[in-house]
Amino acid sequence: MNIEYPFQVVWSPDDEAYLAITHQLPGCVADGPTPEEAVSNLRVIISEWLETAREQKRPIPEPMTSRDFDKQESESQKELQRYIEHEVSSAVLRVLEQIAASGLRQRGAYHGPVSPAACAGVRFVAESTRQKLKNAMNKAGKIKSQWVRERLLSAA
């Protein structure tokens, strides 16, 4: 049974060796003086990992396909985008509310929280800023995805 799991090869200055890692199988790491030897050693480790999992009746994950990778990357990008949008939107709203309160304070009209009408105006500006940010993030994500695909195709 020849099962291929995606892997990564990195240089480890601490180990003074190349490390081959498959993130789908916890603890599955091999080293070697060259990238090729690290990968060869990883194949042995994967085989042993799978054999042990079968003996212990542990679940064995299916190898990740390029479609799985694309889907995971897309989901990660969307999650990151939502997080950034939320954080930026919250920060912009706080700053705009502070600016509005400061302006009211300077006019001597501020005696507490900003009025609902002022907040509505601030939220309108924040929402349009959020939409512009979302459009820019979508464009940046498309450019990055295209760049990754071009690199993968050129490596093939």
The residue ranges of every structural domain in the chain are: 8-55, 66-155
Band (pLDDT 50/70/90 cuts) for residue 152 is: low
pLDDT confidence of residue 107: 61
Q: What is the pLDDT of residues 82-132, one digit of tens each?
A: 888 888 888 887 887 777 767 655 665 555 555 555 556 556 666 666 677
Q: What is the pLDDT of residues 13-63, one digit of tens each?
A: 999 999 999 989 999 999 999 999 999 999 999 999 999 999 999 999 988
SS (H, E, C) the chain: CCCCCCCEEEEECCCCEEEEECCCCCCCEEEECCHHHHHHHHHHHHHHHHHHHHHCCCCCCCCCCHHHHHHHHHHHHHHHHHHHHHHHHHHHHHHHHHHHHHHHHHCCCCCCCCCHHHHHHHHHHHHHHHHHHHHHHHHHHHHHHHHHHHHHHHHC
